[in-house]
Amino acid sequence: MGTGYSAGPASPSADPVRQQAVALDQLLADSGSSRAAVIKAVADVKKCDNLDEAASNLRDAAKQRNELVTRLRGLAVDKLPRHAELTSALTSAWKASASADQHYAAWAGQAHGKKGCPKGHARTTAEAQAGNRQSGVASAQKTKAAQLWNAIAQQYGLTQRQPTQL
């Protein structure tokens, strides 16, 4: 009774929990899209290459991650198991990633300055260190979010994700 899988007008696709899971799955599919650009941009900053483009890509990635937080707030996920923990972990992860991206973009600006790139390598600055710290926070929160999401994804036949895909 009430499972949504019995004979009759109700079908599995009408399951409100599954509907919420599918909507969140679609958001998560967008979440990893800027990762490759961020990795390349940080690598470019380290070797003092394409600094303007790297900074621009990092600022764009930060904006995308903040948009994910906004979109997540607009999703109904209250029927998902451990939804409060999951949304908290995703929000923290994306905010920390956005912060890291902003710090790395500022680091690119510093590398552009006088004596910012001795021997072709960007100096480690407070901005670089702050970016690294925020990246660490993001990684920990993404690990937690991936574990919570994967339990839901497995139950509903949706895409399981590694922390690096969030």
Per-residue pLDDT of the chain (166 residues; tens, 9 = 90+): 444 444 444 455 579 999 999 999 999 998 988 888 999 999 999 999 999 999 999 999 999 999 999 999 999 999 999 999 999 999 999 999 999 999 999 999 999 887 899 988 999 999 999 999 999 999 999 999 999 999 999 999 999 999 999 9
- pTM of the entire predicted model: 0.89
Side chain identity at residue 37, one-letter code: A
Q: Report d(CA 11, CA 143) in Å as an integer.
A: 33
Q: Report d(CA 130, CA 137) in Å as an integer.
A: 11
Cα four-point dihedral sign 122, 124, 126, 128: positive
